[in-house]
Structure 1
């Protein structure tokens, strides 16, 4: 079963679970935002990754969800299942990665848990706060809104490709191994008042658009020529594969969001962005040279159960 299908199924069983990057909990004039992410050695950490980078990524993936809500991080709890072969060097480096990523983004590790597992398993829980009138959700996009992204796309996919080719000096590999969540951008966009819906694209742009469309009950049209491909990516893999990586590779940790047309300038003042399309009535479409094609919802996604 696809991970997203399972998530929707569980949401129906539990009832009242919103499909956002974080849960929102009443906390006076603000919301407490909470998110959790589980990472496994075999499926989530590339073989080339060192333990410090594993620690960094484990924190970064959770902070990216905080960023997508327009919130400020308040701290993280890290639960770690360690395999028998983990020595003190591995443990020291892993936890140093936790600490360093949290500190870089102005927060800290509050506590957690340790246990013994067959493979390295890290579950991070990030907490943050956002004013109630500034919280950004996946729902809220309206037909005619502009579709935007921060940063560049496809860089992490390029890193995976470079590693598989043995090009270990490629600048793309750092993008894959040390992701940078867009906390400052998320906060600034929330304060701009221009954004109608937002999430991160850690699983790939195509899946993110599918998620936004489902919750907001709209469709999207993406203009292929406007995609901000990572610098040098098309030269390395060719234009066609670079576009595929931008849509489906995952690992970029940018913010994908919709903006009211009349508020675009306010969004531009908040952070650097690229307008890549617009919200339409239904479907997920890509326009290239005047022709439209439907975009399949593919990306980085676990398969779970039967």
Structure 2
């Protein structure tokens, strides 16, 4: 069997099956959530997450060096945000082609530094070597109080399904770039300079109102399936409640718009669940949209022509 015959989720399960079982200090281990969670004693858990990005698959040619650096840090911070963690620092391993212009490389470093500082942390080290393709591998460390940790596995039937920000903006940018259509600065910025919801994640956890949470960088539908699997529940999503920028609705229509909003990755938003009686408490933390409800089983989306199953499709590497 070749790796290409497995999708990313199946491959992750295969890998975790080969690893030694987590020790007593590992609260959340490999493949179980957005971050690994370690008990280091005291009042806080230490969280760690890592992401690898490549020039060909993750950085469109239109991106500047500064934007590449920003995104490389933001994607890691987004995982910390989904746990409500306060960032401690970023490690970045860079594989760089030797013929890269120094000015371009400097812009990458500046973008990394700006993103880290914008969210109260810094780049604290890393590694670098020669590589045929620009490759950025970031590792983010964070802390969360033990009483505030939120996992993917806490959703209950009856909870409301919520999402920060807008959906499909990054997906629209990808679709429009492929078609050589002018996307506009606001749409492009959402793809090239994503905003990890660090502040929103920390604020939401402090309300004690959220039962489960993750980020949706791989797409809404795939993330909903991940939450459903972790929590052992189902979901019902309402298409007419999905928050979408008016500019995106003007540029994309029909199936293309639905694809961008529901299945395409790149939006660094938080997907989370809240019991109805605590929704006002959650609203005091940050702005968000209620897009559905947790049900006992099955994953569905209600559209204008009826209810249909929501496929677990989104961005995967294999």
Same fold (TM over 0.5): yes
- Whether the 8 Å contact between 2:173 and 2:183 is mirrored in structure 1 is no
Residues 254-290 of structure 1: CA distance to partner in whole angstroms, max 9, x if unpaired? 0000101111111111110111001111121001247
Once the two structures are TM-superposed, the CA of residue 220 in structure 1 deviates from its matched residue by 0.5
Q: Does 1:159 pair with 2:173? A: yes
How far apart are the structure 2 equivalents of 1:215 and 1:4? 13
State the shift of 1:243 in Å. 2.4
- Contact map agreement 2:89 2:122 (CA 8 A) in 1: yes
Check whether the contact 1:189–1:270 (CA below 8 A) recurs between aligned residues. Answer: yes
Conserved 8 A contact 1:135-1:190: yes
Misfit runs of 4+, over 4 Å: none
Q: CA deviation at 1:12?
A: 2.1
Contact 1:224 1:288 in 2 (8 A): yes
Residue 287, structure 1, aligned to residue 302, structure 2: yes
| Number of the residue aligned with 1:177 | 192
Separation in 1 of the partners of 2:298 and 2:99?
Answer: 48
TM-score (norm 2): 0.92
Which of these residues, 79, 100, 117, is aligned with residue 103 of structure 1?
A: 117
Matching of residue 94 in structure 1 with residue 108 in structure 2: yes
- Residue in 2 aligned with 1:298? 313
CA distance in 2, matches of 1:289, 1:44: 34
Q: CA–CA distance in 1 between the matches of 2:98 and 2:136?
A: 15
- Alpha-carbon distance in 1 for matches of 2:59, 2:234: 33
Contact 1:147/1:258 (<8 A) preserved: yes
Deviation at 1:106, TM superposition (A): 1.1
Q: Secondary structure at the match of 1:81?
A: strand
Per-residue deviation, residues 1-43 of structure 1 (Å, max 9, x unmatched): 2111111111222234351111111131100111000111111
1:75 counterpart SS class? strand
Q: Which residue of 2 aligns with 1:138?
A: 152
Question: Is the contact between residue 229 and residue 243 of structure 1 (CA under 8 Å) also seen in structure 2?
Answer: no
Q: How far does the alpha carbon of each residue in 1:152-197 deviate from its partner, in whole angstroms, 9 at most, with x for none? A: 0000011112322334461311111110000110000000110000
**Correspondences of 1:204-243 after superposition (within 5 Å):** 204-243=219-258
Q: Does 1:192 align with 2:192?
A: no
CA distance in 1, matches of 2:299, 2:84: 25
CA contact (8 A) 2:50 2:140 kept: yes
Matched, 1:3 2:8: yes
CA contact (8 A) 1:60 1:179 kept: yes
User: Which of 10, 13, 32 does residue 18 from structure 2 map onto?
Assistant: 13
Query: Does the residue aligned with 2:124 lie in a helix, a strand or coil?
Result: strand
**CA RMSD between the two structures:** 1.3
The worse-fitting range, judged by mean Cα deviation, of 85-94 and 137-146 is: 85-94
Residues 55 and 95 of structure 1 are in contact (CA less than 8 Å); yes or no, is this contact kept in structure 2? yes
5+ long unaligned stretches in structure 1:
none
What is the aligned partner in structure 2 of residue 54 from structure 1? 68
> For each residue in 1:99-140, what CA deviation from the matched residue of structure 2 results, as whole angstroms up to 9, or x when unmatched?
010011111000110001110111100001000010111111
Matched, 1:253 2:268: yes
1:25 aligns with 2:38: yes
User: What number of residue pairs does the alignment pair up?
Assistant: 303
Q: Which moved more, 1:123-132 or 1:19-28?
A: 19-28
Determine whether 1:71 maps to 2:85: yes
| 2-structure distance, mates of 1:42, 1:138 | 31
